[in-house]
Amino acid sequence: MKTIIFVLALIGLTLAAPKSSRPHFRRSSKQINPSPRVVGGNIAEPHSLPYQVFLEFYTETYGKYCGGSLISQNYVLTSASTVEVLVTLGAHNIYLTEPTQINVYSTDIIVHEGFNEDYGWNNDIAVVKLPKSISYTDAIQPVALPKRADIAREYVGQVGRIAGWGSDDGFWDAIFDVLRYFDTTVISSDDEDCRLYITPIDMFCTAGEYNGTYVGPCNGDQGSGFVSDGVLIAINAFNVYCLEGMPGFHTRVATYLNWISDNTDAIIK
């Protein structure tokens, strides 16, 4: 069971530093453990999703990458399967040093105390605390959280968007350079494929097909937000082998509003 894990985190390096000087696993010999990716996505308009964050996580034996969402000037919301993290904000092309990127060092990650990856995906939520307040720009903005009145809300049929830089071939060294996204719909927890894997009070599923196209998160997009009407209503947890047509599985943010309130300064109405 994980509680609070202190880490060294980065949001880039200095603006003057070349991208090649950044310490990251995309150029290392570490074994990579991919997380879910955007399948069938579109290239996002640069900085049109300013809450989107790119994360690189490390353990002593491997690294992996995933997504997150900025929820205040001090915190990023993501999934719980994290140990050490390199954070990039304000990016469109993660292989370039863009002037929109803010570069600071973070200090720690708070993982939900009820999360245990050996026993399923319940409580798959965490926050990255930044060492100082981030200044908002056109390329860096927080995403709104659900209202407390939404805790018991059923989102079935609601359309939302998931974004990320994740690979489309399952390999860690082939992630997209630019941000991609896809839209999809929340489906009933009674769906045959959905109910095999989730607890409805904690999670929900999204369709693996939208407007006749197979879509879904796969390698590199775990932790990215599912955003609908400007509100972060879920965090991507996993996909089943990135199979075409299979649902995406997501942690409901509204279920954890009290936990988020206790551990961050994010505004919750």
More confident site: 67 or 220 = 67
Distance CA 258, CA 226 (A): 19
Mean confidence (pLDDT) of the chain: 78
Question: Which range among 148-152, 172-176, 225-229, 258-262 shows the weakest confidence by mean pLDDT?
Answer: 172-176
Domains of the chain: 4-15+50-142+258-263 (2.40.10.10), 148-255 (2.40.10.10)
Contacts of 212 (CB under 8 A, 6+ apart): none
More confident site: 120 or 52 = 52
φ and ψ of 60, to 5 deg: -70, -20
How much is the pLDDT for 62?
Answer: 67
Query: How does residue 237 score in pLDDT terms, banded at 50, 70 and 90?
Result: confident
Question: Which range among 125-129, 135-139, 164-168, 226-230 shows the weakest confidence by mean pLDDT?
Answer: 164-168
**Mean pLDDT across the stretch 57-67?**
73
204-214 tens-digit pLDDT: 999 888 777 77
pLDDT at 15 over 60: no
How much is the pLDDT for 10?
Answer: 30
68-118 tens-digit pLDDT: 999 999 999 999 865 567 788 999 998 888 999 976 656 578 999 998 776
pLDDT at 257 over 80: yes
DSSP string across 118-179: GG-STT--EEEEPSSPPPPBTTB-PPBPPPGGGTT---TT-EEEEEE---SSS-GGG--SB-
How much is the pLDDT for 66?
Answer: 83
* Spatial CA neighbour of 179 closest among 85, 84, 16, 50: 50
114-152 tens-digit pLDDT: 987 766 678 999 999 998 899 999 999 999 999 999 998
Task: State which of 2-6, 24-28, 130-134, 263-267 shows the largest mean pLDDT.
Answer: 263-267
Contacts of 2 (CB under 8 A, 6+ apart): 80, 111, 112, 113, 115, 116
178-201 tens-digit pLDDT: 999 989 999 998 888 787 777 777
How much is the pLDDT for 216?
Answer: 78
How far, CA to CA in Å, does 164 sit from each of 70, 167, 179, 209, 217?
Answer: 14, 9, 6, 18, 8
How much is the pLDDT for 50?
Answer: 98
Query: How does residue 29 score in pLDDT terms, banded at 50, 70 and 90?
Result: very low
Query: How does residue 36 score in pLDDT terms, banded at 50, 70 and 90?
Result: very low
Residue 225's CB: how many other CB atoms inside 10 A? 30
Distance CA 100, CA 263 (A): 28
More confident site: 127 or 31 = 127
